[in-house]
Structures are given as C-alpha cells and as structure tokens.
Amino acid sequence: MIFVEQKIKDGFMLRQVAGTWVAAPTGSRAAETRALFTLSETAVFLWNLLAEGLPYEEIVAKMTEDYELDGQAAKSELDKFIGRLEDNNLLEARDSV
C-alpha cells in the first residue's frame, strides 16, 4: 500500500473546461505548482474522495461498489493514481480523526 493517511493538498481547484477535467493550483499554491493536471472521470472520482480525506480502505470500498472491481484491482488502480499524485507533490498528510 502506497499511502495511509493522505489527502489532496489545499489550494487546488477542480473544474471542467471544454469537456476536460482540470486540476489547477490557486493562490499561493500556484507559485509552487506551475502546472495544470488533466483528469479522467475516474481520476475525478478518486480526486474528490482524496480531497475529502477519506481513508485508503474506504476509497477502495467505494471503488469496488461504484466500478464493480474486486478489492485487489481497486487497490492497484488507487495505488497507481496515488503514485502519480505523489510524483507531482499533490498530497499532504491528513488530520487524524
């Protein structure tokens, strides 16, 4: 498992522009992240769950329900997505509940 207690960093705006989902940095985050990120519909689904700060296992459970994946396939896809977010420094530790 790649991540346990992480979420999307604050300071990103998710919008649909000309039919394409884009995550863009806002405010002070724009100075440190000078890129826009395009997202698929599935990536938007995961982005929103991570932005809410849901725990890893809850996201996996939602993936298995909404996308009819088995647990291992959901974890694999989530791990790949999280890896891309980590590569672009888009995640931060989430507060403990």
CA dihedral 87, 95, 12, 88 (to 10 degrees): 0
The predicted model scores a pTM of 0.85
Q: What is the DSSP string of the chain?
A: ---SSEEEPSSEEEEEETTEEEEEE-TTHHHH----EEE-HHHHHHHHHHHHT--HHHHHHHHHHHH---HHHHHHHHHHHHHHHHHTT-EEEPPP-
The residue among 30 and 46 whose pLDDT is bigger is: 46
CB 76 within 8 A of CB 64: no
Which pLDDT band holds residue 53 (cuts at 50, 70, 90)? confident
Domains of the chain, earliest start first = 6-91 (1.10.10)
What pLDDT digit, counting tens, does each position of 24-36 carry? 999 888 888 878 9
For residue 24, give both structure tokens: 């863009």
Looking at residue 2, its pLDDT comes to 45
